[in-house]
Amino acid sequence: MIIISSTIDYIIGLKLHITTIKSHRKLLLIVSLLVNLGILGFFKYFNFFIESFNELLSIFPINLDSSTLKIILPIGISFYTFQTLSYTIDIYKKKIEPTRDIYSFFAFVSFFPQLVSGPIERASHLLQQFHEKKAFNHKLCVAGLRLMLWGFFKKIVIADNFGILADSIFNPDLSASGLTIIIGAIFFAFQIYADFSGYSDIAIGIARMFGFDIIQNFKTPYYAASFGEFWRRWHISLSTWFRDYVYIPLGGNKGKISRVYLNISITFLLSGLWHGADFTFLIWGGLHGLVLIIEKHIDIKLHKIYYYPVVLICVTLFWIPFRAEDLGHLADMVNSVIHLSSYSFVQIEQIVSDFSMIRFSTLITVLVAFMGVEFLMKSKDFNEWVGDRRRITRILIYYALIFAILLIGNFSVKPSFIYFQF
């Protein structure tokens, strides 16, 4: 699949550059869109649309034999499809010129550190780096190792430990109380952030060691003081992709306010659908689009100290549909959350006791320290932040992270990343 996408977009990129007839250029772009989105749509969404169609027909007295297929989702297809699509779109818009070096282009599309889970790179930033001669650089190697260490800490200590707690709470067989589900959403919020940003740091770190610069994908999103700011800090490569290739082409902030709201809604619904072929992801994307519309409509002027908790609480609760197994599971959890009578500490005590109170207390202490470092980092990455410390301080931080990984890290779970499934 990656060979097909890369070959077609490489050829189309060259054709777009030499073709001056507007209708021909538009046709070439349409071919690129149809091929790439067609492949992505078939492998990722075919069963989803068939199942949805069957459910729709079940309302009416219509019997139609439409079965699903056992489709294996190609690894990284959501990421490299968007990456190669941005190349042809940018050439069509005459923002960049195509490369004639097919090896560099294939390397750009399939660059191994970020192939399976991003960050989603643009040709204008990464492709040209494959044309440069690389040599060992001690400074870049140190920077890469710092980022990798921070990424492994986030993944093994934070994500994989909180993942066990979140999985226990979001088990469909467990009739969780409202309080349990809310605490589960908090656990999952830390799990998914540490898991995905940890992967991004590892990918960026490996690339940096090879002399490649990849964009920062997260900037302490849980300290965002608005929903708009949250999306400027969370999965930056994806949010900017949807901004540049979906939201702005739809009209962006221009036109009537109703049109702007529609543009926001479409963008976030598609963003939700990108994450997974299920109505739960559409709900998650729709909720984020809705709060952004509300935020834009009422033009909130509250001081960020007062508005920040509102943003953090909503973002955390919105993880519930994201984590739900299906609509039935989501409905059960929402029902528990809105019924105050279901709030009980009993289940929480059972889940935590199964995890071990000593380990849980240690993990909470480490989490507080982790969030403290995140607060101090602000928009910097870990390499920039730790690089500003004195040498003795840097060494102490390195060893603290290594000991945390070895002593508190969870090595009992399968070493997979959440965004591998997308």
Q: Which positions are catalytic? A: 275
The residue to which tokens 């993880």 are assigned: 319
* CA-angle at 160, arms to 403 and 397, nearest 5°: 25
Contact assessment for residue 2 and residue 109, using Cβ atoms and an 8 Å cutoff: yes
Helix H or strand E encompassing 268: helix 257-275
Distance, CA of 122 to CA of 212 (rounded, Å) = 13
Distance, CA of 321 to CA of 186 (rounded, Å) = 13
The widest CA-to-CA distance across the chain, in whole angstroms, is 74
What does the chain come to in residues? 422
Distance, CA of 205 to CA of 155 (rounded, Å) = 14
Nearest to 178 by CA among 360, 354, 345: 345
36-59 as b/e: b if 16+ CB within 10 A:
beebbeebbbebbeeeeeeeeeee
* CA-angle at 166, arms to 379 and 44, nearest 5°: 80
